């Protein structure tokens, strides 16, 4: 007899989802025990870390990851991480266990009220009517996760796995292609660009691929246009060591208007128009500026101020556009970077600039750098450019807990690339269980923890608000190096410039082939800027 479980394994093989990320519960026993030899199981000790690992893996592999969660508690614990996966446009197929179908109507222990638990964050949710519908539902979830770029959820009662499978095949297509714009659409956009006297490009996470970078470089050089990175971008959409790279757009409207002043056309590629944080009065772009948008995601276009939005693959669109627009003068000179930070005087603390200067001097160009250090992110942008696709990865949604497990998942998915995670000590605590997975599976990530013993960005925001003293204390008692060692992950505490230089000199040259993780718990001053 072919069981529903057997049929689902066939679906997972068909879609190359043979790595299972999970924190199991009793409703998953009949699915997970006795896995076939061609499947791999990756355990994390909290569901947020489970989804973080899977998100990083999907990002590295460029295809959906498979996640298994345990009824209400598992899905609820993973809610923040699934919201981040949705905003980061990462495809996940999520199977959530449910109580036995034969008495779930009576709401026995561990019954989950699962539909609607995460609101609109899943791109699709399904509770199959029959056990025999489960394989097709998981195939459909793969289709939905790819086409809508986010987590798709299937709820499976625990007894379904042992039922006899039906003869029906799943209806989801094996291959999904992104749309290429028509010649008429390219002609219309090219005409608008050619009529502009001073176009500028804003690149976003949707252009972060080898094809996307190559097409945008060709287009920028053809137009002689500067290229800005979108505000709060989850990934770098353009090589940040290229002469045309102008920098990162500010987070507020006044800063965006100042940066884009003098340009009569803004072409936004692979990004919303434009993600902001603080509310400010006035227009988002200078008055009279035409805004064009190229995005693969319709909802980014629906929420934008674009005059013309092209919903199509950014890489192919930009490649076609580069072949159609008229050539202009050479790209402008690259902006000058900051001066290297002088080493601290004796008795003075390390600052983020010291850490990032040392990283920038030795990181290989192909490094995958994962960021979750809100107080020092602008300094990181200034000093450590992304030089290859996935050279910068962060959480577009802004919630904490993504960076640490995502770095583990990225290294699992890209074992030959060096992976560094730059994290705040406060941020690390939201996904700290991921260190156990890194250590247990010998995942060679370097975790650079900026330990200032505070929510430094929150302290600065409170000070600038003029509303009085912040009620939250610091947490200087927390030592991430000790927590890491308690989870089986090697760690070092670093307090001086010489100690940091020696540690990086030792670790960075062989980081790509490193066979285990390391945490550098670095004492830094509580500097903070945001924007």
Domains and CATH numbers, the chain: 4-162 (3.40.50.970), 183-322 (3.40.50.1220), 352-523 (3.40.50.970)
The torsion defined by the Cα of 50, 55, 56 and 60, in degrees rounded to 10, comes to 140
According to the model, what pLDDT value does residue 346 have?
87
Q: Regarding beta strands 445-451 and 419-424, do their DSSP bridges make them parallel or antiparallel, or are they unpaired? A: parallel
Span 262-284, average pLDDT: 91
Q: Decide: residue 490, CB within 10 A, 0-12 exposed, 13-18 middle, 19+ buried.
A: middle
According to the model, what pLDDT value does residue 205 have?
96
CB 278 within 8 A of CB 262: no
For residue 473, pLDDT over 60 is answered with: yes
According to the model, what pLDDT value does residue 531 have?
41
According to the model, what pLDDT value does residue 465 have?
82
According to the model, what pLDDT value does residue 99 have?
86
Query: Rounded to whole angstroms, how far apart are CA atoms 91 and 145?
Result: 5
Span 421-438, average pLDDT: 96
CB 174 within 8 A of CB 17: no
Cα dihedral sign for 106, 109, 111, 113?
Answer: positive
Mean pLDDT, the chain, whole residue set = 92
According to the model, what pLDDT value does residue 112 have?
86
For residue 22, pLDDT over 50 is answered with: yes
CB atoms within 10 A of CB 451: 26
How many helices (H) does the chain have, and how many strands (E)? 19, 17
Closest among 336, 6, 400, 343 to 165, alpha carbons compared: 6
Q: What is the pLDDT of residues 306-332, one digit of tens each?
A: 999 999 999 999 999 999 999 998 766
Span 464-488, average pLDDT: 91
Span 353-368, average pLDDT: 96
pTM: 0.94
Instruction: Spell out the residues 6+ positions from residue 258 whose beta carbon is closer than 8 angstroms to its own.
Output: 250
CB 12 within 8 A of CB 4: no
- Per-residue pLDDT band for 168 (boundaries 50, 70, 90) equals low
Span 414-433, average pLDDT: 96
According to the model, what pLDDT value does residue 277 have?
83
- Per-residue pLDDT band for 358 (boundaries 50, 70, 90) equals very high
Tell me the percentage of the chain whose pLDDT exceeds 70.
96
Closest among 389, 382, 394 to 366, alpha carbons compared: 389
H helix or E strand, kind and range, residue 148: helix 134-148
CB 1 within 8 A of CB 7: no
For 337-346, b/e burial (b = at least 16 CB within 10 A) is eeeebebeee
Q: Regarding beta strands 245-248 and 308-311, do their DSSP bridges make them parallel or antiparallel, or are they unpaired? A: unpaired
Backbone angles phi, psi at 67, to 5 degrees: -125, 140
- Per-residue pLDDT band for 114 (boundaries 50, 70, 90) equals confident
Which DSSP symbol is given to 469? Answer: -
For residue 31, pLDDT over 60 is answered with: yes
CB atoms within 10 A of CB 438: 32
Backbone angles phi, psi at 181, to 5 degrees: -65, 155
């Amino acid at each position: 007899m072919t069981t529903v479980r057997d049929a689902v394994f066939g679906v997972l093989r068909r879609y190359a989802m043979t790595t299972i990320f999970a924190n199991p519960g009793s409703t998953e026993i009949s699915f997970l025990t006795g896995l076939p030899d061609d499947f791999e199981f990756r355990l994390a000790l909290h569901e947020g870390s489970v989804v973080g690992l899977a998100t990083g893996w999907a990002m590295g592999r460029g295809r959906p990851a498979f996640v298994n969660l345990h009824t209400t508690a598992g899905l609820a614990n993973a809610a923040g991480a699934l919201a981040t996966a949705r905003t980061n446009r990462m495809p996940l197929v999520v199977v959530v266990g449910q109580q036995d179908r034969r008495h779930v109507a009576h709401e026995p222990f561990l019954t989950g009220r699962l539909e609607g638990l995460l609101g609109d964050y899943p791109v699709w949710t399904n509770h199959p009517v029959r056990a025999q519908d489960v394989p097709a539902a998981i195939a459909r979830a793969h289709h939905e996760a790819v086409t809508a770029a986010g987590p798709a959820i299937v709820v499976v009662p625990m007894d379904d796995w042992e039922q006899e499978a039906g003869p029906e095949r799943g209806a989801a297509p094996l291959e999904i292609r992104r749309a290429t714009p028509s010649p008429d659409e390219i002609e219309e956009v090219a005409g608008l660009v050619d009529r502009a006297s001073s176009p500028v490009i804003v690149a976003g996470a949707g252009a972060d691929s080898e094809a996307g970078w190559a097409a945008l470089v060709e287009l920028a050089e053809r137009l002689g246009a500067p290229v800005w990175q979108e505000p709060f971008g989850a990934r770098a959409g353009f090589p940040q060591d290229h002469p045309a790279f102008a920098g990162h757009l500010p987070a507020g409207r006044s800063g965006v208007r100042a940066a884009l002043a003098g340009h009569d056309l803004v072409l936004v590629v692979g990004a919303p128009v434009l993600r902001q944080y603080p509310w400010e009065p006035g227009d988002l772009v200078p008055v009279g500026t035409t805004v064009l948008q190229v995005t693969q995601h319709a909802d980014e276009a629906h929420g934008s101020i674009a005059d013309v939005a092209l919903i199509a693959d950014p890489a192919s669109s930009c490649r076609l556009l580069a072949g159609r627009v008229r050539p202009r003068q050479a790209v402008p000179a690259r902006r000058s970077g900051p001066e290297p930070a002088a080493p601290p005087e004796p008795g003075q603390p390390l600052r983020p600039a010291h850490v990032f200067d040392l990283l920038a001097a030795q990181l290989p160009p192909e490094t995958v750098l994962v960021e979750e250090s809100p107080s020092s992110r602008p300094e990181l942008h200034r000093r450590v450019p992304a030089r290859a696709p996935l050279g910068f990865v962060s959480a577009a949604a802004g919630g904490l807990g993504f960076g640490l497990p995502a770095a583990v998942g990225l290294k699992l998915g890209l074992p030959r690339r060096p992976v560094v995670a730059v994290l705040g000590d406060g941020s690390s605590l939201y996904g700290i269980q991921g260190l156990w997975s890194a250590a247990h599976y010998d995942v060679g990530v370097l975790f650079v923890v900026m330990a200032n013993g505070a929510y430094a960005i929150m302290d600065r925001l409170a000070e600038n608000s003029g509303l009085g003293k912040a009620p939250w204390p610091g947490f200087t008692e927390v030592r991430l190096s000790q927590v890491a060692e308690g989870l089986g992950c090697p760690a070092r505490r670093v307090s001086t410039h010489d100690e940091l230089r020696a540690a990086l000199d030792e670790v960075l040259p062989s980081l790509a082939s490193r066979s285990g993780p390391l945490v550098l718990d670095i004492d830094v001053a509580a500097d903070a800027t945001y924007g």
